[in-house]
Amino acid sequence: MAITRRSFLIRTAVSGAAAASILSGAGKAAAQTLSSENYAMLHDLTKCNGCPHLDTPACVAGCRVKNMPKYPEPQQPIKNYWPQKKFEDWSHKRDLNDRLTPYNWTYVQHLEFVHNGEEVKIHIPRKCMHCDNPPCSTLCPFGVNDKLPEGPVVINPNGCFGGGKCRDVCPWHIPQRQAGVGLYLQVAPDYAGGGVMYKCDMCHDLIADGGQPACVSSCPQGAIKFGDKAELRQYAKNWAKENNGYIYGDVENGGTSNFYISKIPFEVINKAILAQDIDGQPGRINMAVNMENPLNMPDKMLGGFLMAPAAGILAAAISTYQIMKGDDDHED
Helix axes 298-331 and 5-31, enclosed angle (nearest 10): 170
Position 134 in a domain: yes
What count of other Cβ atoms lies within 10 Å of the Cβ of residue 116? 7
Q: What domain range includes position 151?
A: 34-297
Determine whether 56 is exposed, middle or buried from the number of CB atoms within 10 Å of its CB (0-12, 13-18, 19+): middle
Residue 29 confidence class, pLDDT cut points 50, 70, 90: very low
Beta strands at 224-228 and 196-198: parallel, antiparallel or unpaired: unpaired
Which residue, among 149, 124, 158, 161, has the nearest Cα to 259 in the 3D structure?
Answer: 124
Q: Is residue 321 part of a domain?
A: no
Q: What is the DSSP letter of 107?
A: E
The rounded mean pLDDT for the chain is 84
Q: What is the mean pLDDT of residues 63-86?
A: 91
For the beta carbon of residue 212, count every other beta carbon within 10 angstroms: 17
pLDDT band at 315 (very low <50, low <70, confident <90, very high): low
For strand 176-178 and strand 153-155, is the pairing parallel, antiparallel, or unpaired?
A: unpaired
Cα–Cα distance, 214 to 59 (Å, whole number)? 7
Residues contacting 327, CB < 8 A, separation 6+: 3, 4, 6, 7, 10
Is 26 within a domain?
no
User: Does residue 25 sit within a domain?
Assistant: no
Residue 207 is predicted with a pLDDT of 95
**Spatial contact of 23 and 313, defined as CB atoms under 8 Å apart:** no
Neighbours of 280 (CB within 10 A): 6
Q: Which of 136-145, 173-182, 275-284, 318-327 has the highest mean pLDDT?
A: 173-182
Beta-carbon contacts of 259 under 8 Å, excluding residues fewer than 6 positions away, are 40, 41, 42, 43, 232, 233, 236, 247, 248, 249, 250
Identify whether 313 is part of a domain. Answer: no
Condensed to tens digits (0 to 9), the pLDDT of residues 105-128 reads 999 999 999 999 999 999 999 999
Report the number of distinct structural domains present in the chain.
Answer: 1
Cβ atoms of 320 and 161 closer than 8 Å: no
User: Kindly report the CA angle at 59 between 43 and 113, in degrees rounded to 5?
Assistant: 60
Share of the chain above pLDDT 90, in %: 68
Q: How many residues does the chain have?
A: 332
Greater model confidence, 231 or 3: 231
196 has a pLDDT exceeding 90: yes
CATH of the domain at 78: 3.30.70.20
Higher pLDDT, 297 or 293: 293
Residue 324, domain member (yes or no): no
Question: What is residue 326's predicted lDDT score, i.e. its pLDDT?
Answer: 54
Does residue 67 belong to any structural domain of this protein? yes
Position 205 scores a pLDDT of 96
Let me know if residue 185 belongs to a domain.
yes
The terminus-to-terminus CA distance of the chain in angstroms comes to 8
pTM of the model: 0.83
